[in-house]
C-alpha cells in the first residue's frame, strides 16, 4: 500500500495551527491600537479668553516709623546725674528725662546775675552824675562838655546793663539744659548711657530716641509700572487731589495678622530713586492702642482696579525659568505652549498684558503634565475671564 494519501491528510491541521494564532494576534493588536490612541488624547477642559474688570491686591514691604521721632541729645557738657525714665516707658510732653550735673552752670548763672546787679548800680550812678550837671550847665557854672561826657557815660552804663542781662539769659538757658525734658509725648527707646557717664553737646550718640506713635507712618517703595497704573487709576489736578481718591489701605503685621485699623496714603515722593527705579510712598495708620512701634515692619496692602483686561486662572498656567506659560488649542486639537506676560495677579488669576488675544482657546486644567504639540480631546466650558467654572 502507498503512503502518499496519509501525507496529504496530515498537512491541513498543520497549516491551520499556524494561521489561527496569527489571526488572533492580528485582532488583539487592532483593539490595543485604538485604546492607545484614546490614552494619547486626554479629555481636558478648555475655555476662551475674555475681557473683564479685575481687582488686584498688591502688597508692599513697609518700615514703620512714629509720627515724630526725636533724638534726645545733651546740649551742655557734664556728667549724667539722674536717669528719670526707663526704656519703653511712655512719657508726657515736658516730663523730666535726664539730669546733668549743674554745679558749673549754676555758678555761671550766679556770676551773670551779680554782673547784672553791678551794671544796674553803675547805670544809677551815671544817671545821678548826668542829672546833677544839667542845672549847672543851665546856670553856666560848668561847660556843656562835662554834661556831654556824663551823658556818654550813662549810655555806656546802659549798654553794659544790656550785656549783663544777655549773659544772665544765656547762663539761665545753659542751666535749664541740665534738665532734659520730653519735647513730645511718646515712648522711650534704648538708653545707652548710665549715671556718671560723661556727655557732651557734640557727641555722636544720642541719650535716647523718643517716638510719638499715636499715628504711625508706613513707608514703602512703589515701582515705576505700579506708579503709572496708580496715576491712571486715580487722576487729579494735584497729588493731594489724587491721594484723596485712593481707598483705605490695610496693614499686615510681621506675623501675617491684619492690623485692626485702616490707613490712608498721604504722600508720594516728588522723584524716583534712580538706583532702584522706585518712588517712596507713605501711608498713615492710627495707633490708638499703641501696638505699633518705630522700627516695626509690615506689609501695606493696596487694591487696584484693572478695567477690561485679559485674564487666565493661575491653575491654567505653568512656570518655567521665571516665565509663565499657557497651552493654547490649535487646529486638529493640538496644543501649543504660549508664554504670557503677567501685569498683575488677583487671588486666583493672572492679568495678562501680552501673549494672549481675546477669543483664544486655552486648556484650563491638567497643564502640569501636558506637552507642547500634544493632541487632546477638548471639553468645552463656559468662557471665563479668570477662574475656571466648577
* Topology, domain 43-55+307-380: 2.40.420
Please tell me the distance from the alpha carbon of residue 329 to that of residue 381, in angstroms, as a whole number: 13
- CATH number belonging to domain 103-177: 1.10.287.470
Domain 75-100+179-205 architecture: Beta Barrel (2.40)
Q: Residue 232 phi/psi, 5° resolution?
A: -70, -35
CATH 2.40.30.170 in the chain is located at 59-65+216-305
CATH 2.40.50.100 in the chain is located at 75-100+179-205
Q: Which three cell numbers stand for residue 112?
A: 551773670
pLDDT for position 6: 45
CATH 1.10.287.470 in the chain is located at 103-177
CATH 2.40.420.20 in the chain is located at 43-55+307-380
Element (H or E) spanning 147, and its range?
Answer: helix 144-177
pLDDT for position 40: 67
Q: Residue 223 phi/psi, 5° resolution?
A: -70, 165
pLDDT for position 39: 54
Cα angle 256, 262, 52; round to 5: 85
Please tell me the distance from the alpha carbon of residue 355 to that of residue 333, in angstroms, as a whole number: 20
Phi-psi region at 165: left, alpha or beta (left = phi > 0; alpha = psi -120 to 50): alpha
Please give, one letter per residue, the 3-state secondary structure of the chain.
Answer: CCCHHHHHHHHHHHHHHHHHHHHHHHHHHHHHHHHHHHHHCCEEEEEEECEEEEEEEEEEEEEEEEEEEEEECCCCCEEEEEECCCCCCEECCCCEEEEECCHHHHHHHHHHHHHHHHHHHHHHHHHHHHHHHHHHHHCCCCCHHHHHHHHHHHHHHHHHHHHHHHHHHHHHHHHHHCEEECCCCEEECCCCCCCCCEECCCCCCCCEEEEEEEEEEEEEEEEHHHHHHHHHHCCCCCHHHHHCCCCCEEEEECCCCECCCCEEEEEECCCCECCCCEEEEEEEEECCCCCCCCCCEEEEEEEEEEEEEEEEEHHHCEEECCEEEEEEECHHHEEEEEEEEEEEECCCEEEEEECCCCCCEEECCCHHHCCCCCECEEEECCCECCCCCC
pLDDT for position 24: 41
Q: Are 80 and 195 in contact (CB under 8 A)?
A: yes
pLDDT for position 236: 80
Is the whole model's pTM more than 0.85, yes or no? no
Q: In a structure prediction context, what are the per-residue pLDDT tens digits for the chain, which is 390 residues long? A: 444 444 443 444 444 344 444 444 444 444 455 554 555 688 999 999 989 888 888 899 999 999 999 999 999 999 999 999 999 999 999 999 999 999 999 999 999 999 999 999 999 999 998 888 888 888 887 788 888 888 999 999 999 999 999 999 999 999 999 999 999 999 999 999 999 999 999 999 999 999 999 999 999 999 998 898 888 888 888 888 889 889 999 999 999 999 999 999 999 998 999 899 999 999 999 998 889 988 899 999 998 888 889 999 999 999 988 899 999 999 999 999 999 998 888 888 999 989 999 999 999 998 988 889 999 999 887 555 544 444
pLDDT for position 382: 58
pLDDT for position 347: 83
Please tell me the distance from the alpha carbon of residue 43 to that of residue 282, in angstroms, as a whole number: 51
Please tell me the distance from the alpha carbon of residue 296 to that of residue 78, in angstroms, as a whole number: 34
* Topology, domain 59-65+216-305: Elongation Factor Tu (Ef-tu); domain 3 (2.40.30)
Q: Are strands 186-188 and 208-223 parallel, antiparallel or unpaired?
A: antiparallel
Q: Are strands 90-91 and 323-329 parallel, antiparallel or unpaired?
A: unpaired
Amino acid at each position: 500500500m502507498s503512503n502518499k494519501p496519509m501525507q496529504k491528510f496530515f498537512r491541513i491541521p498543520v497549516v491551520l495551527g499556524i494561521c489561527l494564532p496569527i489571526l488572533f494576534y492580528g485582532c488583539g493588536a487592532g483593539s490595543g491600537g485604538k485604546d492607545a490612541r484614546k490614552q494619547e488624547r486626554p479629555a481636558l477642559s478648555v475655555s476662551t479668553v475674555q475681557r473683564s474688570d479685575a481687582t488686584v491686591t498688591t502688597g508692599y514691604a513697609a518700615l514703620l516709623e512714629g509720627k515724630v521721632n526725636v533724638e534726645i541729645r545733651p546740649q551742655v557738657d557734664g556728667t549724667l546725674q539722674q536717669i528719670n525714665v526707663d526704656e519703653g516707658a511712655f512719657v508726657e510732653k515736658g516730663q523730666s528725662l535726664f539730669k546733668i550735673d549743674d554745679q558749673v552752670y549754676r555758678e555761671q548763672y550766679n556770676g551773670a546775675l551779680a554782673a547784672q546787679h553791678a551794671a544796674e548800680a553803675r547805670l544809677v550812678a551815671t544817671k545821678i552824675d548826668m542829672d546833677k550837671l544839667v542845672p549847672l550847665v543851665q546856670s553856666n557854672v560848668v561847660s556843656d562838655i562835662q554834661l556831654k561826657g556824663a551823658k556818654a557815660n550813662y549810655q555806656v552804663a546802659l549798654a553794659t546793663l544790656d550785656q549783663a542781662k544777655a549773659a544772665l539769659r544765656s547762663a539761665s538757658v545753659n542751666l535749664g539744659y541740665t534738665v532734659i525734658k520730653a519735647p513730645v509725648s511718646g515712648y522711650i527707646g534704648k538708653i545707652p548711657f548710665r549715671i556718671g557717664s560723661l556727655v557732651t553737646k557734640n557727641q555722636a550718640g544720642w541719650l535716647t530716641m523718643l517716638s510719638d506713635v499715636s499715628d504711625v507712618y508706613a513707608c514703602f517703595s512703589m515701582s515705576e509700572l505700579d506708579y503709572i497704573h496708580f496715576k491712571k487709576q486715580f487722576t487729579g489736578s494735584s497729588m493731594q487731589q489724587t491721594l484723596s481718591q485712593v481707598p483705605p489701605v490695610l496693614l499686615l503685621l510681621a506675623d501675617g495678622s491684619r492690623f485692626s485699623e485702616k490707613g490712608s496714603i498721604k504722600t508720594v515722593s516728588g522723584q524716583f530713586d534712580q538706583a532702584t527705579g522706585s518712588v517712596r510712598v507713605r501711608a498713615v495708620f492710627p495707633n490708638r492702642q499703641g501696638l505699633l512701634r518705630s522700627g516695626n515692619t509690615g506689609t501695606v496692602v493696596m487694591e487696584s482696579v484693572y478695567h477690561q483686561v485679559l485674564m487666565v486662572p493661575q491653575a491654567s498656567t505653568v512656570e518655567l525659568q521665571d516665565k509663565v506659560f499657557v497651552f493654547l488649542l490649535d487646529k486638529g486639537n493640538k496644543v501649543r505652549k504660549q508664554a504670557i506676560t503677567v501685569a498683575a495677579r488677583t487671588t486666583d488669576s493672572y492679568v495678562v498684558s501680552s501673549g494672549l488675544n481675546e477669543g483664544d482657546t486655552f486648556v484650563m486644567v491638567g497643564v502640569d503634565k501636558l506637552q507642547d504639540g500634544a493632541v487632546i480631546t477638548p471639553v468645552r466650558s463656559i468662557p471665563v475671564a479668570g477662574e475656571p467654572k466648577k
